[in-house]
C-alpha cells in the first residue's frame, strides 16, 4: 500500500495533536513510562513531519505539503 506524502503528513499531525491533548494520569501505575513513551513518539512524529516537509516542499509541482502541515510547534520539553 502506497501512502501519499500529504496523507501521511495529515496522519502525523493528528497523532501529534492527540498526544498534545493527552492528560497524564499521575495516579495510575506506569504513568511515567507512558508519558515518556508518548513524548518519544511525538518527537519521532515531529521529526518525520519535518523530513516530509523538506522532501516535498510546499508549492512543489509534485504536490508538496500544504504549509499548515509543517507548522507543528515543538512542545516536547513540556511537563
Residue 79 lies in a domain: no
Residue 45 lies in a domain: yes
The Cα 54–Cα 64 span in angstroms is: 9
pTM of the model: 0.70
| Span 33-70, pLDDT tens digits | 999 999 999 999 999 999 988 887 765 545 555 545 44
Domain range for 26? 5-70
Mean pLDDT of the chain: 79
Supply the angle between the helices 5-21 and 31-55 in degrees, to the nearest 10.
Answer: 150
42 neighbors 76 (Cβ within 8 angstroms) = yes
Domain tally for the chain?
1
DSSP string, 11-72: HHHHHHHHHHH----TTSTTHHHHHHHHHHHHHHHHHHHHHHHHHS-TT-TTTPPPGGGG--
In the chain, % of residues over pLDDT 90: 42
Amino acid at each position: 500500500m502506497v501512502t501519499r506524502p500529504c496523507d501521511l503528513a495529515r496522519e502525523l499531525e493528528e497523532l501529534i495533536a492527540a498526544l498534545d491533548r493527552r492528560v497524564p494520569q499521575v495516579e495510575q501505575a506506569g504513568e511515567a513510562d507512558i508519558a515518556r513513551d508518548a513524548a518519544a513518539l511525538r518527537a519521532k512524529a515531529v521529526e518525520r513531519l519535518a523530513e516530509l516537509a523538506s522532501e516535498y516542499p510546499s508549492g512543489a509541482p509534485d504536490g508538496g505539503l500544504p504549509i499548515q502541515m509543517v507548522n507543528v510547534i515543538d512542545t516536547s520539553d513540556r511537563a
